[in-house]
Amino acid sequence: MISRPELTTKLQSFLTSEWTRKNTPKGLETAWTDALSPTGNETPKTFLRHGFKPFLAYYLGTIESTSHKKWEKTGDKLRQTLDNLPSDVLQEIAIELRDTQSHPTVDQAIERMMTTAVKRRRKFQRPLCTSEANAKPPGLQATDADEACAATPPETSPITTPMDDGQTRVSGTWDTTHTSNNHNLTIELGRTASPLPTTLGAVGQGQLFTNASPQGITQIFPPYMCGAIRKTGAGAGSRASVTMGFPYQQYGGIHCLMSLSIVPRRLVIVAKELFGMTLDIDGGMQYIVSERGGKLLPMPSLNLQGASKEGIILMLGVKIRDAIEGSPQRETEISLSVMHTSCATLTISNNPEDDGQLNLNFGLKEGLVIKDLLYPDCMSSNPSNVDTFQAIIPYIVLLCR
């Protein structure tokens, strides 16, 4: 009988050793798709729930090994042992694998496999059922340098589906026109704002900061999210499409808001890991798909709410988790035993080529710290930015409730 520490060490070895393969492991994508289906063996599903990295270790140690005569007995024995473990023990092993510091070449291989799989599925318009965690590419990934298209939010009637506390909420924004690419809720207004006060009680007027430093986002977000945020410009003039606002009127206890533009090729993974929602492209339209096969079509846009703490840490990092925990809205949710927070919302379009818009609600103290990292040299003022930001705050508040 293999002990639990031995099992963990064995699986970790596939992540900590140098990746020498030239191609994706044979059968990996099929096994990945099988693990996402509602039926079948629960063991690989447990590993995949904690991210692609634990699932990859499981696959290499069990499914793939049994296909080679040289390791057939070892892989089969390992798989049988894991299948017989209690679910809580399996989850503990999966968490340890998720938190394992993998070899840089493994991180790069995971990034390549995820990107290739998403592109292939988009090309053939097949369901984009992906789940990946903690992929760590070596620095910022190349992203589209197209200018983000600014769009004022249309006057619409928010429609929210009933939900139980602690579950992901889906709300739609319905009108007869399709918004332009990058349904941006906070509008690119130029990287200008007056300096924020350093004390919490001294915030007397609204402040808006746009176009964050690419170096700044690497100090806050995990590597995968750094590559998911849209960049504009090139070279030394490159900027990240991140907007932060500090309203002078505290609408519903909202002290600090952040809005990020997420490039389409990373949107499917962000939606899956943060909100547990699967995106699908069919006939050139983007849908949300339930585990039972039902589809929800944005008309033209749709808002997801209800992010888990694990998903926030995984995709956004510890600093963002702490900033959300400091939000008055999150404090109210905790007092009501709401586990999945509405302090994180994701707006998606029915057009698979559109950016997603991720909106976050922070506490003031934590928001000021993050602002200093993202906008270290933002010292000029522009009152018109503040006026425009105030005009759209009520719209954003609807998304954060």
In whole angstroms, give the CA distance from residue 390 to residue 398.
14
> Which helix (H) or strand (E) is 399 found in, with range?
helix 383-399
Domain count, the chain: 2
> Which helix (H) or strand (E) is 218 found in, with range?
helix 214-218
In a domain, 151, yes or no: no
- Considering the domain architecture, whether residues 86 and 229 belong to the same structural domain is answered as no
Per DSSP, 268 falls in state: H
Strand partners, 362: 256
- Considering the domain architecture, whether residues 85 and 213 belong to the same structural domain is answered as no
- Considering the domain architecture, whether residues 115 and 239 belong to the same structural domain is answered as no
- How much is the pLDDT for 76? 76
- Considering the domain architecture, whether residues 172 and 305 belong to the same structural domain is answered as yes
Query: Residue 25 CB: number of other CB atoms within 10 A?
Result: 16
- Considering the domain architecture, whether residues 204 and 351 belong to the same structural domain is answered as yes
At 116-168, the pLDDT tens digits run: 665 555 444 333 333 333 333 333 233 333 333 233 333 333 333 333 344 44
- Considering the domain architecture, whether residues 122 and 179 belong to the same structural domain is answered as no
- How much is the pLDDT for 107? 85
At 13-53, the pLDDT tens digits run: 999 999 998 888 888 888 877 887 777 788 888 888 777 88
Query: Residue 376 CB: number of other CB atoms within 10 A?
Result: 12
More confident residue, 138 or 93: 93
Helix, strand or coil, per DSSP, at residue 286: strand
pLDDT classification of 80: cutoffs 50, 70, 90? confident
Q: Are 270 and 375 in contact (CB under 8 A)?
A: no
Tell me what the pLDDT averaged over the chain comes to.
72
- Considering the domain architecture, whether residues 219 and 94 belong to the same structural domain is answered as no
In a domain, 138, yes or no: no
- Considering the domain architecture, whether residues 165 and 303 belong to the same structural domain is answered as yes
More confident residue, 251 or 15: 15
- Considering the domain architecture, whether residues 114 and 168 belong to the same structural domain is answered as no
- pLDDT above 60 (res 328): yes
- How much is the pLDDT for 188? 29
Q: What is the pTM assigned to this prediction? A: 0.49
Q: Are 90 and 78 in contact (CB under 8 A)?
A: no
- pLDDT above 90 (res 236): no
Tokens encoding 211 = 């176009």
> Which helix (H) or strand (E) is 91 found in, with range?
helix 87-98
Helix, strand or coil, per DSSP, at residue 385: helix
Strand partners, 269: none
Q: Give the pairing of strands 285-289 and 127-128.
A: unpaired
- How much is the pLDDT for 194? 33
222 burial via Cβ count (<10 Å: 0-12, 13-18, 19+): buried
Query: Residue 337 CB: number of other CB atoms within 10 A?
Result: 8
Tokens encoding 359 = 């909106």
More confident residue, 298 or 147: 298
In a domain, 98, yes or no: yes
In a domain, 143, yes or no: no
- How much is the pLDDT for 117? 61
- How much is the pLDDT for 6? 86
- Considering the domain architecture, whether residues 169 and 301 belong to the same structural domain is answered as yes
Share of the chain above pLDDT 70, in %: 66
Per DSSP, 20 falls in state: -
**Angle between the 4-16 and 72-83 helix axes, to the nearest 10 degrees?**
120
| Domain closes at, from 107, 127, 147 | 127
- pLDDT above 60 (res 242): yes
- How much is the pLDDT for 67? 46
At 352-368, the pLDDT tens digits run: 899 999 999 999 899 99
What is the domain extent for residue 220?
Answer: 157-399
pLDDT classification of 64: cutoffs 50, 70, 90? low
In a domain, 152, yes or no: no
In a domain, 137, yes or no: no
- How much is the pLDDT for 115? 66
- Considering the domain architecture, whether residues 81 and 200 belong to the same structural domain is answered as no
Tell me how many degrees the CA angle 53-218-261 measures, rounded to the nearest 5.
85
In a domain, 273, yes or no: yes
pLDDT classification of 61: cutoffs 50, 70, 90? confident
In a domain, 58, yes or no: yes
- pLDDT above 50 (res 392): no
- Considering the domain architecture, whether residues 223 and 352 belong to the same structural domain is answered as yes
Q: Are 224 and 237 in contact (CB under 8 A)?
A: no
